[in-house]
Amino acid sequence: MSAVLSALATQLSSAVTAAFGAQYGVLDPELRAATRPEFGHYQTNLALRLAQPLGQSPRAVAEQLVAALDLSGLCEPVQIAGPGFINLTLLPSVLAAGVNEPVVFAPRGERVVVDYSQPNVAKQMHVGHLRSTVIGDALCNVLRAVGYEVIRQNHVGDWGTQFGMMVEQVLFEGLVVESLDIEGLQQLYQRGRKHFDAEGNFGDLARARVVLLQSGDEETLAIWRQMVEVSLVEFDRIYAQLGSPLTRADVVGESAYNDRLQAVVDDLTVAGLLTESGGALCAFLPGFAGRDGSPLPVIVRKSDGGFGYSATDLAAVRHRVDDLHANRIVYVVDHRQALHFQQIFALCRAAGWLPATIPAEHVAFGTVLGKDGKPFKTRAGDTIRLASLLDGATARAQALLDERETLEEGARAAVAAAVGIGAIKYADLSSDRINDYVFDLDRMVAMTGNTGPYLQYAHARLSRLLSKAGETPGLVTVLEQPAEQRLALLLSGFGDTVIQVAVTLQPHRLCTYLFEVAAALSTFYETCPVLTSEGEVRASRIALCAATRRVVHDGLGLLGISAPDAM
Ligand code: ARG
Distance 483 CA to ligand 1 centre (A): 47
Kindly report whether the global pTM for this prediction surpasses the value 0.85: yes
- Identify the pLDDT of residue 466: 98
312 lines ligand 1 (CB under 6 A): no
Residue 25 CB neighbour total at 10 angstroms: 15
Instruction: Give CA angle at 136 (375, 288), nearest 5°.
Output: 70
131 lines ligand 1 (CB under 6 A): no
- Identify the pLDDT of residue 2: 77
Distance 253 CA to ligand 1 centre (A): 10
Distance 479 CA to ligand 1 centre (A): 51
Which 3 state secondary structure label does DSSP give 362?
A: strand
Query: Taking a C-beta distance cutoff of 8 angstroms, is the pair 174, 135 a contact?
Result: no
Instruction: Give CA angle at 362 (357, 367), nearest 5°.
Output: 170
- Identify the pLDDT of residue 381: 81
Domain ranges within the chain, ordered by starting residue: 3-90, 161-243
Residue at 24: amino acid letter: Y
Distance 132 CA to ligand 1 centre (A): 10
Residue at 345: amino acid letter: F
Distance 270 CA to ligand 1 centre (A): 28
120 lines ligand 1 (CB under 6 A): yes
**Rounded CA separation 326/318 (Å):** 10
Q: Whose CA is nearest to atom 2 of ligand 1?
A: 118
Identify the CATH assignment for 3-90 out of 3.30.1360.70, 3.40.309.10, 3.40.47.10, 3.40.50.2000: 3.30.1360.70
The pLDDT profile of the chain, 567 residues, written as one tens digit per residue, is 678 888 999 999 999 999 999 999 889 999 998 888 888 999 999 999 999 999 999 999 999 999 999 999 999 999 999 999 999 999 999 999 999 998 899 999 999 999 999 999 999 999 999 999 999 999 999 999 999 999 999 999 999 999 999 999 999 999 999 999 999 999 999 999 999 999 999 999 999 999 999 889 999 999 999 999 999 999 999 999 999 999 999 999 999 999 999 999 999 999 999 999 999 999 999 999 989 999 999 999 999 888 989 999 999 999 999 999 999 999 999 999 999 999 999 999 999 999 999 999 999 999 999 999 999 988 888 888 898 899 999 999 999 999 999 999 999 999 999 999 999 999 999 999 999 999 999 999 999 999 999 999 999 999 999 999 999 999 999 999 999 999 999 999 999 999 999 999 999 999 999 999 999 999 999 999 999 999 999 999 999 999 999 999 999 999 999 999 999
- Tell me the longest C-alpha to C-alpha distance in the chain: 89
- Identify the pLDDT of residue 4: 87
Q: Whose CA is nearest to atom 11 of ligand 1?
A: 313
Pick from 132, 151, 159, 337 the residue to mutate for probing ligand 1's pocket: most ligand atoms within 8 Å of its CB. 337
158 lines ligand 1 (CB under 6 A): no
Distance 335 CA to ligand 1 centre (A): 11
Residue 454 CB neighbour total at 10 angstroms: 20
- Identify the pLDDT of residue 492: 94
133 lines ligand 1 (CB under 6 A): no
157 lines ligand 1 (CB under 6 A): yes
What is the number of the ligand 1 atom nearest to the C-alpha of 156? 1
Distance 95 CA to ligand 1 centre (A): 46
Distance 117 CA to ligand 1 centre (A): 8
Query: Taking a C-beta distance cutoff of 8 angstroms, is the pair 275, 282 a contact?
Result: yes
- Identify the pLDDT of residue 1: 63
Q: Whose CA is nearest to atom 5 of ligand 1?
A: 118
**Rounded CA separation 80/85 (Å):** 6
